[in-house]
Amino acid sequence: MSRAENSPLRVSIVNDYEVVVHGLAAMLSPFSERVVVVEVEAGGLPDASADIVLFDTFASRRRSLERVAEIGDMGSVGKVVLYTWDLPATFAAAVETAAVDGVIMKSASGEELVEALERVHRGDPVGVDPTNPADVGPTLTEREREVLALLARGATNREIADELYLSVDTIKTHVRKVFTKLAVSNRTQAALAAGRLGLQPKT
Report angle CA 27, 123, 164 to the nearest 5 degrees. 55
* 99 inside domain: yes
Query: Which position has the higher pLDDT, 4 or 97?
Result: 97
Phi/psi at 201 (nearest 5 deg)?
-65, 150
Q: Is residue 76 a part of any domain in this protein?
A: yes
Residues 59 and 148 in one domain: no
Residue 116 placed within a domain: yes
Q: How far apart are the C-alpha atoms of 194 and 179, rounded to whole Å? A: 11
Whole-number pLDDT of residue 190: 93
Per-residue pLDDT tens over the stretch 68-93: 989 877 777 789 999 998 888 889 89
Q: What pLDDT is recorded for position 138?
A: 35
Are 187 and 159 in a shared domain? yes
Cα four-point dihedral sign 16, 111, 144, 164 = positive
What are the pLDDT digits (tens) for 147-180? Answer: 999 999 999 999 999 999 999 999 999 999 999 9
Q: What's the total number of domains in the chain?
A: 2
pTM for the model stands at 0.80
Quick one: 57 exposed, middle or buried, by C-beta within 10 A (0-12, 13-18, 19+)?
buried
